[in-house]
């Protein structure tokens, strides 16, 4: 795959609750290469989401270090970390995390606002990516006017619109039915492949891990195994296709 874009070095996260110390992440080490689709697989409470939050700089390490694109995020100031995330990272959430008062296109424009992109250029790029995720007819709808699958596609468009180097996805299909889950997984993977982006996805679903190039199994804050998937599930689109259009629901 190439040079590691994420290096996790003896990462540890301890929560102190009264007299109790909870080792959520227990000194783990691994790398993720540029352009790799990596799955953190584990049951509820295994520490996989905490690990993702540490890599994304959302939570602070207790000890150890994490390098993203060669830079240590451990000692970054809050301002530097916020700027680093805006420039390099995208996020897809289980709960969509869309702003209810905004339309789909306004939600997708948000990361570009933080990049100080001009209004007309922002709108043009947001419209283009919403078309790619199959939401041509839903651009000016608000979240409450869309299905769960449509809302998640808006979330994916928002995560990818600024062309981040890395996209973190935390249980991105957790609220979706089986058919929509397959559509969303294909969409995330096709977008990442096209722009050679790295995806780090957390899931408890073994079948979804089949999309990944690398599967890291997490249990009780420890790495159980790291598996290279020689035959990952790839998007079922024609070679050279520029878009991933699904029928509007």
Using only the alpha carbons of the chain, give its radius of gyration.
Answer: 18
pLDDT digits (tens, 9 = 90+) for 23-74: 999 999 999 999 999 999 999 899 999 999 999 999 999 999 999 999 999 9
pLDDT digits (tens, 9 = 90+) for 104-125: 999 999 999 988 899 999 999 9
Using alpha carbons, select from 98, 73, 96, 100 the residue that is nearest to residue 84: 73
Q: Residue 244 has what pLDDT?
A: 40
The answer to whether 105 and 130 are in contact (CB under 8 A) is: yes
Q: How many angstroms separate the CA atoms of 4 and 99, rounded?
A: 34
* pTM for the full predicted model: 0.89
């Amino acid at each position: 795959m190439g040079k590691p874009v994420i290096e996790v070095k003896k990462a540890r996260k301890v929560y102190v609750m009264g007299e109790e110390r909870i080792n959520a992440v227990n000194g783990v080490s691994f790398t993720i290469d540029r352009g790799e689709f990596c799955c953190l697989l584990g049951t509820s409470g295994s520490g996989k989401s905490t690990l993702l939050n540490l890599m994304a700089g959302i939570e602070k390490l207790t000890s150890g270090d994490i390098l993203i694109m060669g830079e240590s995020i451990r000692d970054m100031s809050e301002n530097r970390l916020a700027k680093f995330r805006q420039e390099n990272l995208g996020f897809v959430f289980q709960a969509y995390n869309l702003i209810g008062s905004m339309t789909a296109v306004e939600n997708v424009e948000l990361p570009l606002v933080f990049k100080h992109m001009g209004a007309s250029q922002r709108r043009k790029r947001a419209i283009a990516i919403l078309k790619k995720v199959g939401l041509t007819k839903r651009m000016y709808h608000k979240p409450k006017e869309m299905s769960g699958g449509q809302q998640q596609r808006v979330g994916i468009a928002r995560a990818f619109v600024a062309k981040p180097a890395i996209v973190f996805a935390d249980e991105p299909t957790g609220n979706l039915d089986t058919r929509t889950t397959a559509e969303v997984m294909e969409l995330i993977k096709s977008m990442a492949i096209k722009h050679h982006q790295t995806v780090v996805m957390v899931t408890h679903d073994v079948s979804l891990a089949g999309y990944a190039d690398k599967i890291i199994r997490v249990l009780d804050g420890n790495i159980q195994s790291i598996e290279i998937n020689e035959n990952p599930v790839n998007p079922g689109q024609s070679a050279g296709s520029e878009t991933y259009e699904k029928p509007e629901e």
